[in-house]
Amino acid sequence: MTPPSWLGQGWLAPHYLGWLLHGAAMTAALALCVSLAASLLGILLCAAQDSPLRVLHWPARLFCSLHRNTPLLVQVLLWYFGVGGLLPDQAMQWLNSPHQLALPLGLSLSWPSFEWLAAWIALSWYSACFISGELAAGLRTVGSGQRLAGRALGMSEWQIFRLVVLPQALRHIRQPLLGQYTAIIKNTSLTMAIGVAELSYASRQVESETLLAFQAFAVATLFYLLLVIATQLAGSRRSAEEPGR
Amino acid sequence: MMLSLLHDNLDYLLWGNLAQGQPGGLLLTVGISLAAGVLATLGGLAGGVALCMGGPRLCRVLNTLVQILRAIPVLMLIFWCYFLLPILFGIDIPGVLTVIAALALINAAYLSQSVKAGIDAIGDGQWRAAQALGMTRWQALRYIILPPALRAMLPSFVNQWITLLKDSSLAYVVGVAEFTFVATQINNREQVYPLQIFGLLAIGYLLLCSALEWLGRRAGRMPA
């Protein structure tokens, strides 16, 4: 039986698989960096909206609604073209030329490209708003009786938060947070629009080079599925180890 | 300077080459979102009801499909539709339709889960009461379960519509002349005010999404 004509001729050559694998590594690295930054920023945003200082409330809320109600792609383009255009020429020249930081053992760390930085910042700010929403919702699930009980036992506000509220809230936050990290993996695909060589970009490149669209997209889709499933497994493994569940 | 830029490009940004019969810009974004939104809502309702009323085998197939759709980026799904739909139907399909199909499919998958959760949230007692009155399962669903369930689902529907509206910007990658694509075209041509052009683009989407959010909140407050 001959394969249907739309499948194209043959399978992907090994070096094209290498491109896709490199793209998947780039996607994983970007998603990891974004997850770290977005979690930190999300905690700050959540703290600002929950803080006793009322002046912090509305800027944090405005920041979130601005980011949640515009497309991520537009934010990525805004950072890349808009903010890139604002920087002085020398700064752009420095950012666009390679820089190496020598590490011991003969390793070196290279300064990321400008599109990578723009993608990282745009994705982190966007995701932080969603993460702060999940954190706030998790904290709200702990009833006020718990706080009052803590106060009755003579605990300080920090002790109440650290020993009473946080452990209970974390249990509710874990699943939604895992969903946000999955969303971050998927959202890194948008950065192909500014030329970050991640998985979607690589699949498009392989497709236009080989004309084997089906194979290129199938491998890329498989890599996305693997990354997402690995994230879900890592998350549920952690919650199974948790005592008292 | 900024004003002349706006004056020269505003028409194109808002409705593309409408006079030549090629709608684009903000108008096309609204059109894509409306079409995909209606399809996704119908698909999500059908999927959610099937998950509640269907047999175990149907549920397993639907659940697997939903899990896969939720695990891949929307962008990848647009690529797939762009490549597979013309093969499936054997004809040339315009990019706009492939984008509408991809957006409808993924959002229907998300909505079917909300519909299922909404129906599950209505207590068992309601089903049994309807049965005691001699209603069939479908009659109970239609007259007893769905009316309050749909009201409870409205916020998640509105959220999904907003997500869909934002994701319509991804049509840019397959060269559909919607709002984002048109803005990048203008940016490439002018090369002077990227911050202003993309800022304006962001404000356009912000107004659309906020309007949708506001409408949803108003509808949620209306008496039954």
Domains, chain A, in order of start with CATH, read 13-88+113-241 (1.10.3720.10)
Is pLDDT at B55 greater than 90 in this prediction? no
Nearest to B176 by CA among B105, B76, B95, B122: B95
- B224 pLDDT above the threshold of 60: no
Nearest to B76 among A73, A86, A217 (CB): A217
Pairing of strands B22-23, A108-110: unpaired
Domain ranges of chain B: 27-174+195-221
CATH topology of domain B27-174+195-221: MetI-like fold (1.10.3720)
Alpha-carbon gap: B206 to the closest alpha carbon of chain A (Å): 5
> What is the three-class DSSP state of A110?
strand
> DSSP for A46-109?
HHHHHSS-GGGHHHHHHHHHHHHTS-HHHHHHIIIIIIHHHS-HHHHHHHHS--EEE-GGG-EE
List the one residue out of A81, A88, A61, A78 whose CA is nearest residue A123.
Answer: A78
Predicted confidence at residue A244, as pLDDT, reads: 47
CA distance B131 to chain A (A): 35
Q: What confidence score (pLDDT) does residue B5 get?
A: 76
Closest alpha carbon to A39 in A163, A146, A176: A176
Q: Answer for the pair A186, B73: CB distance below 8 angstroms, yes or no.
A: yes
Q: What is the 3-state secondary structure (H, E, C) of chain B?
A: CHHHHHHHHHHHHHHEEHHHCEECHHHHHHHHHHHHHHHHHHHHHHHHHHHHHCCHHHHHHHHHHHHHHHHCCHHHHHHHHHHHHHHHHCCCCCHHHHHHHHHHHHHHHHHHHHHHHHHHHCCHHHHHHHHHCCCCHHHHHHHHHHHHHHHHHHHHHHHHHHHHHHHHHHHHHHCCCEHHHHHHHHHHHHCCCHHHHHHHHHHHHHHHHHHHHHHHHHHHHCCC
CA-wise closest residue to B165 among B157, B155, B173, B153? B157
Q: Is some CB atom of chain A closer than 8 A to the CB atom of B187?
A: yes
Q: Report CB contact under 8 Å: B199, A78.
A: yes
Mean pLDDT of chain B: 90
Are residues A190 and B170, on separate chains, in Cβ contact within 8 Å? yes
Q: Say whether A190 and B75 touch across the interface (CB within 8 A).
A: yes
A200 inside 8 A of chain B by CB: yes
A70 touches chain B (CB under 8 A): yes
Q: Are A185 and A199 in contact (CB under 8 A)?
A: no
Q: How confident is the model at residue B206, as a pLDDT?
A: 96
Is residue B76 within 8 Å of residue A189, measured between CB atoms?
yes
Write the CA distances from A124 to A5, A35, A216, B14, B64, integer angstroms. 43, 7, 28, 30, 30
- Please tell me if residue B173 touches chain A, with a CB cutoff of 8 Å: yes
A6 touches chain B (CB under 8 A): yes
Q: Which residues of B touch A190 (CB under 8 A)?
A: 73, 75, 170
Residue B106, CB-side half-sphere exposure with 13 Å CA sphere: 27
Query: Are the beta carbons of B166 and B201 closer than 8 angstroms?
Result: no
pLDDT value of position A218:
92
Contact of B74 with chain A, judged by CB distance below 8 Å, is answered with: yes
Say whether B195 and A190 touch across the interface (CB within 8 A).
no
pLDDT by residue, tens only, chain A of 245 residues: 556 666 766 778 888 999 999 999 999 999 999 999 999 999 999 999 888 888 889 999 999 999 999 999 999 999 999 888 888 888 878 877 777 766 666 666 677 888 999 999 999 999 999 999 999 999 888 888 888 999 999 998 888 988 998 888 888 898 899 999 999 999 999 999 999 999 999 999 999 988 888 889 999 999 999 999 999 898 877 666 655 44
Report CB contact under 8 Å: B83, A214.
Answer: yes
Give the pLDDT confidence of B71-89 residue by residue, as tens digits.
Answer: 999 999 999 998 888 888 8
Q: What is the pLDDT of residue B157?
A: 94
Contact assignment for B76 to A200 by CB distance below 8 Å: yes
How far is the CA of B179 from the CAs of A120, B161, B182, in angstroms? 24, 17, 5
Using alpha carbons, select from B103, B118, B101, B148 the residue that is nearest to residue B49.
B118
pLDDT of residue B26: 92
Q: What is the ipTM of this complex?
A: 0.90
Q: What is the pLDDT of residues B26-53, one digit of tens each?
A: 999 999 999 999 999 999 999 999 999 8
Q: Facing residues of B178 across strands?
A: B25
**Section B64-69 average pLDDT:** 92
* C-alpha closest to that of A214 among A23, A8, A3: A8
**Chain A residues within 8 A of B74 when measuring between CB atoms:** 186, 189
Distance CA(A42)–CA(A130), nearest Å, equals 8
A74 vs B: CB within 8 A:
yes
Q: In which element (H, E) is residue A129 found?
A: helix A114-140
| pLDDT for res A245 | 42
Closest Cα in chain B, distance from residue A202 (Å)? 12
Nearest CA in chain A to B68: A225
**Residue pairs spanning A and B at CB distance below 8 A:** 100
